[in-house]
A and B are shown apart, each in its own frame.
Chain A
Amino acid sequence: MTTPIPLFDPMVPAFARISRVDRELPDVFTWHLAAPSGAGFSFAPGQFNMLYAFGAGEVPISISGDPNRPEELVHTIRAVGAVTRAMQGLRKGDTIGVRGPFGSAWPLAEARDQDLLFVAGGLGVAPLRPAILHALAARSLYRRVIVLAGFRSPADFIFRKELERWRSRFDVTVEVTVDRADTSFRGTVAVVPALIAEVELDPAATVALLCGPEVMMRFAVRELERRGVPHERIHVSMERSMKCGVGFCGHCQYGPTFVCKDGPVYRFDRIERLFYVREI
């Protein structure tokens, strides 16, 4: 899969209208946007857009929609600060600014004929969703498809219905866990690395795609190492605060790289040294 070239001038936002808002959690919502141009909005799974809430500001948000449905642009957002809270206040019919798509993508073409292991933590399931949807739509291109997802508690599931739908398929392994739960919960209570420790893996033929809080990814990488998955088969999605989104301003610098241009998806062996350095 090649990296699409932005449809617009990368520094000038295009307008997009919110056609639907799904409330995932009290502080997490999914926007469905009518594609800003009639031609549709093509992107590669793993890429992000700079979304602009007029009067509030602009933030990088991963694309969480289906790459096979370019007529609709989908983003899943957690309200954490000034801009994302302003975004939460927007309704169906409101307009926002979009620049993108930017950044690197999940290595889905390289992963052909391999086992695909998705490891998601919390909202990390959103940037992985386009890659999972692609793998399910083009199921015969891959060997096993495994989705491991961890959430804080049973009340914090994101895309619950979709996870259940994927789980009901015979050609996908889906394991979901929560960090904490009371005894009424019937599912697994454990951290995501515990799922990695137990899942059936062929380490030499597995491509692992990780997305979630950095600490969770560090522990997950350690567990993948124990299972014998080589670093060059592990890919992580990194986040840094951004301004331009196109490699001009240096705001998102991560060691010698820029997350907006060289990331957000990195092959782990290429950033391993940075991964353990603090305050980068």
Chain B
Amino acid sequence: MDDLARLLAAHPFLDGLGRAHHAVLVGCTKNVRFQPGQFLLREGEEARTFYLLRAGRASLEVHVPGRGAVRVETVGAGDVLGLSWTRLDGADPSLPPRVHLDARALDPVVALALDGACLYRKMEADHELGYVLMKRLLALTYHRLERVRLQRLDVYKASP
């Protein structure tokens, strides 16, 4: 197994996927690094990349006029970043998919960067791979939604 396939197999998001599928994904993947303060994703830019974080933390931020950047979540090793390439957000398919949040490295970040368009093509060509990945993406989205709900409830506000 080459290095990238091994790194892909070691990431929790792809854990348990068959070797053959890891090998297919290698063609879409490169190893990337970011210094603290560098952006992995910028709100509004074309959504090209799906990151699997291997080390370091990144913060997800929304720019709010008058308030500046608001940190909505931090993510770290084992997490994934950038889902807009899936086009599950219901945006006009004739337009390029857009990133909806800033993602900025807080520490030195090491990640696998998967080209979204490449991944999308592979998933369309191999529906078994597509189904497995879609299930994982759905589970991930569900977990994120659950956390956002809890965050919105503001449970610590003046309650013991």
Q: Taking beta carbons and an 8 Å cutoff, which residues of A are in contact with B?
A: 27, 78, 80, 121-124, 150-152, 156, 179-183, 185-191, 193-194, 197-198, 212-213, 215-216, 219, 222, 239
Contacts and interface: CB of A to CB of B under 8 A. Distances in A.
A148 B30 CA distance: 34
A92 to B, nearest CB: 24
Interface in B64-122: 68-76, 78, 106
Range of interface residues on B (Cβ < 8 Å): 20 to 34
Interface stretch (B15-23, B127-135, B145-153): B145-153
A181 B157 CA distance: 14
A216 B150 contact: yes
Given A190-B73, A198-B76, A179 B156 contact: yes
B59 interface: yes
B111 to A, nearest CB: 16
B143 interface: yes
Contact of B159 (A122, A182, A186, A193): A122
Contact of B156 (A121, A190, A198): A121
Most central of B106, B147, B156, B157 by chain A CB within 10 Å: B156
A215 B78 CA distance: 26
Nearest to B160: A123
B71 A156 contact: no
A180 B151 CA distance: 8
Contacts of A187: 74
A188 to B, nearest CB: 5
Given A121-B156, A194-B147, 14 more contacts: A80-B160, A121-B155, A124-B160, A150-B156, A182-B69, A183-B69, A183-B70, A188-B74, A189-B71, A191-B150, A191-B151, A197-B143, A213-B156, A213-B159
Interface of B: 57, 59, 61, 68-76, 78, 106, 143, 146-147, 150-151, 153-160
Contacts of A152: 154, 156-157
Contacts of A183: 59, 61, 68-71
Nearest to B158: A80
B160 A219 contact: no
Contacts of A193: 146-147, 150
Top-7 shortest CB links A-B: A122-B156, A152-B156, A213-B155, A191-B150, A183-B69, A189-B74, A123-B160
Contacts of A179: 151, 154, 156
Nearest to A215: B155
B147 A190 contact: yes
A211 to B, nearest CB: 10
A64 to B, nearest CB: 12
Contacts of B153: 215
